[in-house]
Structure 1
Amino acid sequence: MIKPWLLRLHRWLTLVFALPLAVIVSTGLVLSFEPMAQIGAAAPGTLTADRVVDLLQRHDPEGKARSLTFRAYEHRLSIGGVRPDDTIDVDVRSGAELTEDGTLSNLFYYSRVLHETLMLDLGWLVHVSTMAMILLMALGIAMGWPRLTNTLSGWHKGIAWNLLPILVLSPVTGLLLAWGVSFARPAFAPAPSAPLSMVEAVRRVGASHDLSGLVWIRGRSGRLLARVVDRGEYRVFTVTPEGLFPTSRNWVRLLHEGNFAGHWSALMNVVTSIALTALMATGLVIWARRRFRKRRPRVRRERSTLVTPA
């Protein structure tokens, strides 16, 4: 008796949140390819500490840099803190300053802004829509194991049930990430020391890691941190004069972004995003078919009443 009501609630939730969920899911699909692009383009040995130091000394002779971001898929090193209103983007191969934004980096940047705020500072709507997605999955589970058939409805149910673990993982980790929940254990905190210059930080990171896998170096909460691709995983280290100290793994972020196992974890996110897209599309088509099928007989009856015998 309760199943029809659960199904009705499932449909109406989908309709109400269809637009924001479509944006969140589609941009999530785009962002799923970013770790693939970064790791795939980071050929070992293509970027050394000496090369980065040379670029810093050339484009930041006064040592003002406060952050570095490396996009291996565009061979682009972004130096932040030198100019008050913008970063300096440098081609690591030629050493020349880049005056135009990269196509891929722009795509990933605007996809991330849409994914997190819908481009209109609507982070609250993203959170509510994500909670609605979790509720939709809970309603699907509550309706019980379906009968799988080779129909649109059967495929909709089959995708949902067969990929349920990774489908649930995506919105749950996204919501926890937005709320600042990481479940990370406190890591060893090195003793406070004098702040390092960016050149010194690059040398410390380069001493133990191939900088081809560098993602960024930046300050946070009074510490200088470096994020590096380490055997396919995006690891974060505290950079000190004594060397690098690993921070606790933020598994919520690693699972949500799909950057904990190289191409495999990124592929998992791609499959998840495609599956969520398919579920939304098939669900809306199923609703539309039923909706319009119900209306057709009424239209025919209304027409028949208008026709009177001669």
Structure 2
Amino acid sequence: MYRITVPATTANLGPGYDVLGMALSQYSVFECELSDEIVIELDGLEKEKLTIENNLVINCMNKLFEKIGKYPSGYHIKITNGVPLARGMGSSATAIIGGLLSANALIDFPLSKDAILELATEIEGHPDNVAPALLGNLIVSTKIDNGEIVYKSITPFDELMCVLFIPDYEISTSSSRGVVPKSFEIRDAIHNMSHLTLMIMGFMTGDTNIISKTMNDVIHEPYRKSLILGFDELKKSALDAGAFGFALSGAGSTVIAFCDKADVERVSESLQETRNMLGIAGKVKKIEPCRNGATCEKID
């Protein structure tokens, strides 16, 4: 039997729209072994929303079997979901990576990590969430013209902490993308390119002053925040409490504050107070970045 553990992710981090993502220390677990028949168990967070029919994990397993041309006669897989659905925490990326790694293990690991990443990107459409889900850390990634996935991993600095407010309401990626304009002024593109470049340098060096000045997006957040209850109030409360950055997590509805470990309790309490004042149901959660990415271990 194999146990595959895959982290949640947060994508974009403000100006890194569709090119930047970071793994978070919250996980879904996939336990699989060969069997005489196909048996699928669903468990964990929001399991009532999961279905065996058209299940993304199983679809991705079949995609890998088809690619390799090798199908097991049967298998038993238990999917324990640990990532909220449709909240901007990479639940689909977690499912994709979990399914591909499970299938890869069941047929004796024919694909390398880079090949897994390529197939995951083909399924997801872009690598910003699947790359950190697979590899961990903060990942800058893109798909170039010949189809190759080019990426660079940045290890988060030791003092970095994340405080998330995860609302109870969902926002689908398609509806969130629907409010983003199809074209932009050149000045907006220049703004995001310059801010993203400097922000990445801040994460590489641990320069929180640079991050605080450059985690500012004009491409997607000004449009998407209209879908997020209390976005401006939550942002102000986090920054006032000591966070050096604040952003929409992926497509939402989750928002994420970045702070030092010394400030994490104060930022968490401030977000909790603000969401209580606004009357928004949800959970405030302190999460460290995940530096290891997905793991696969053989268990007795």
Same fold (TM over 0.5): no
TM-score bin, normalised by smaller chain: under 0.3
The structure with more strand, counted as a fraction of residues = 2
Larger Rg, first or second structure (1 or 2) = 1
